Structures are given as structure tokens and as C-alpha cells.
Amino acid sequence: MGTSPEVFREVLAALGNEVVIPPRPNRRTLSLGTKYSPEFACLPYKILMGSYLEAIEMGADTIVASGGVGPCRAGQYAPLHELILRDLGHEVDVIVFEPPRLDLRDFLGKISALNAKGLSAWQIIKLIQAGLKKLGALDSLERLSHRVRARELVRGSTTPVYRKALQLVYAAQGAREIDEAYSRAEGLLREVPQKSGYEPLKVGIVGEIYVLLEPSANLEIEEALGEMGVETERSIYLTGWTRESKLLGKPGRYNRTRVKEVAGPYLGEMIGGHGQDSVGHAVMYAKRGFDGVIQLAPFTCIPEIVAKSVLERVSREFALPVLSITLDEQTGKAGLLTRLEAFVDLMKRRRR
Ligand code: SF4
């Protein structure tokens, strides 16, 4: 998802594995995934299916995946993927990481299965810390790119600089180098010429984690909005999520509890996925004076379908424009851009 594959590649390679990274999800990935998935499976399931098949074509014999808990289909992804891959004749091992707080022994056993070099526990901890630091730097850089792109003087000038900045952070090894690379990368982005005194429209983006984080799944919506002069803020970044979901962070320290409290009067139940978070974040964006909220939902995603109906009430009560976008294998970029342009016009009129 997003900028993270390079970091996971580095960690797995340092453990002594030959790492195969499938291509960035594209039309072929999706048509392969769609062909071998149940018709009603959600979009991230189909993209992953296609990516696994592409990785197998490139020689992968083991798949490392994340699991999932709670009342939605995420927890069934990996077992179903494995069953279908085996039906297709691929004898791959599937190693599924569940949140360590649920079963620490299982988590450590899986790390040890991937520890081909036999690194010590201390070396593995250092490796994971460096990986998290790099992910944090990549997330901060992405946040900054959204601020800069919305104000860029020449349309399209931020994206190539952002790509260059990412390469600097990817290449850094160890905590000190990551800090240095981040400062240089940040400097590069800040040097992009920007319009002075321009106050862009601000849009919060909420929704399901995969389509929020993976630009190829959301048709680069943040880039498109940025180039329309709109600043976006996303409700989920990978490092924020690992802490807020208590996957790796200290329980209670981060703000997911707050999001649930805020969502409570509108949606008091944990309905799986990020449905409740979508509602809570939308309310928080409204209270912070954002001009609008966009919800990204994979087609057939049950938590986001529920959230969508609740967001209608949030929209009414806060007079907040909300645009819900459903993504599936039929969604095209031209249609999406037309809807975004209309939404931006609406927000501009409201602001005037
Ligand atoms: S959150 Fe939605 S898209 Fe993600 S697994 Fe659950 S139902 Fe599917």
C-alpha cells in the first residue's frame, strides 16, 4: 500500500529473504484478480489476488500478508486467497501476520520463520524500529506534498519533486541517515515555487484503508485534487494506523479512542473495517472548518456502506458537503475527475 512496499522489502531482505515485489497494481493486476475472485469480493481483495498471481509469476514461493480482526471480510482474505491459489495449482506458503497484541507467540513464530539469517532478537527490534522510522518519514513527506501541491505555482510541478524526495528517504539506512534524508527531502519539497497568500479549499478524505493508502486503487485522487488547488488531509496514514489500532503502539496513547467518542452519537457500534472511523473523522473535519469531505469506499464494502448512510446525517447537521465515491474495477479516471471538478465548484461557491 502506498509508499510502504520498499520498506517491507528492506526489512524482509535484511532478515535474509529474496524479496519479490509485484508491479504497482495496474489494469492487468485487476483483471487477473477479478478473474480469480468471487464476483462480490471487495476491490482490495481482487487487487491483492492479482498482485499475488503476478508475484508468483515472478518467482515468489511465499506470500507475506496482513490478517484482520473484527466484523468485516478482511480476516477472511488470506485463507480464501490461499485456497484459490492452491486450486489454481500454486503451492505457495502464506504467512499471515495478525496484530501481535492478540497472540504474541504466533507473531514471534512468524517472524522467526522469516528470519533466514538467524538475526538476534535485538537486531530484529532495531530493524523494525528503523523500518517504522522510515515509514514515519515517508508519511510526513506525503502529508507535506499535499500541502505544497495545492499551492504550486506551476500545475504538476510538485509530483516529480515528491518522487525524487521519496528516493532520498528510500535510500537512507539507519536512524541518522533517515533523519538527514528526510531534512533534504523536506527542503526539496519546500523549494517548489508556491502561490503566495493563496488559501486553498481543504478536504478531508475518509474511508477504507486500502483504497485510502494505495494511489492506484483510488486513481490518484489526492494528486488530482492537489492539482485542482485543493489541499487534502487523509484520515489514515500507515504509521498513524499501526499506533492508533494498537498494532504496535502503547494502548490508549493515540487518538482512535477520541475518533470513536466523536463518532458515538452518530454510529456507536464498531462495525468493522474503518466505518466508524470514517464517521468520526468526518465530524472532526467539520468541526475544524474543512470545506468538504470525500469518502472512498470499495464496492460492496459493508462498513463503508453503513458509514455512507450515517455521513448523510453528518453532512446535514454540519452543512458539510460530503462526496461518497465507490471504487471498483469499472471505475474510470475521466468520470472521477468530472465528479471531483463538480464537487470543487460546489465548495468554492459555498466558500464565496
Ligand atoms: S473494510 Fe471493506 S473493503 Fe476492507 S475487507 Fe472489510 S468489507 Fe472489504
Model confidence, pTM: 0.92
89 and 157 inside one domain: no
Q: Which of 181, 198, 215 is the last residue of a domain?
A: 198
- Count CB neighbours of 181 within 10 A: 22
126 and 157 inside one domain: yes
Per residue in 2-31, pLDDT tens? 999 999 999 999 999 999 999 999 999 999
Taking CA atoms only, the protein residue closest to ligand 1 atom 3 is: 301
- Please identify, by atom number, the ligand 1 atom nearest to the C-alpha of residue 44: 3
Strands (DSSP E) along 78-167, which ranges? 93-97
Return the pLDDT at 102: 83
Distance of alpha carbon 30 from alpha carbon 266, whole angstroms: 35
Residues spanned by the domain of 82? 17-114
- Please identify, by atom number, the ligand 1 atom nearest to the C-alpha of residue 274: 1
Q: Which of 198, 233, 261 is the last residue of a domain?
A: 198
Taking CA atoms only, the protein residue closest to ligand 1 atom 5 is: 74
Q: Do residues 308 and 302 make contact, with C-beta atoms less than 8 angstroms apart?
A: no
Count up the domains in the chain and report the number.
3
Per residue in 191-249, pLDDT tens? 999 999 999 999 999 999 999 999 999 999 999 999 999 999 999 998 876 555 544 44
31 and 74 inside one domain: yes
Residue 275 beta carbon below 6 angstroms from any ligand 1 atom: no
* 10 part of a folded domain: no
102 and 38 inside one domain: yes
44 and 78 inside one domain: yes
89 and 215 inside one domain: no
Element (H, E) at 202: strand 201-207
- Please identify, by atom number, the ligand 1 atom nearest to the C-alpha of residue 208: 1
Q: Which residue has the higher pLDDT, 256 or 346?
A: 346
192 and 225 inside one domain: no
Which residue do the cell numbers 477504507 mark?
Answer: 208
Residue 231 beta carbon below 6 angstroms from any ligand 1 atom: no
Taking CA atoms only, the protein residue closest to ligand 1 atom 7 is: 301
* 6 part of a folded domain: no
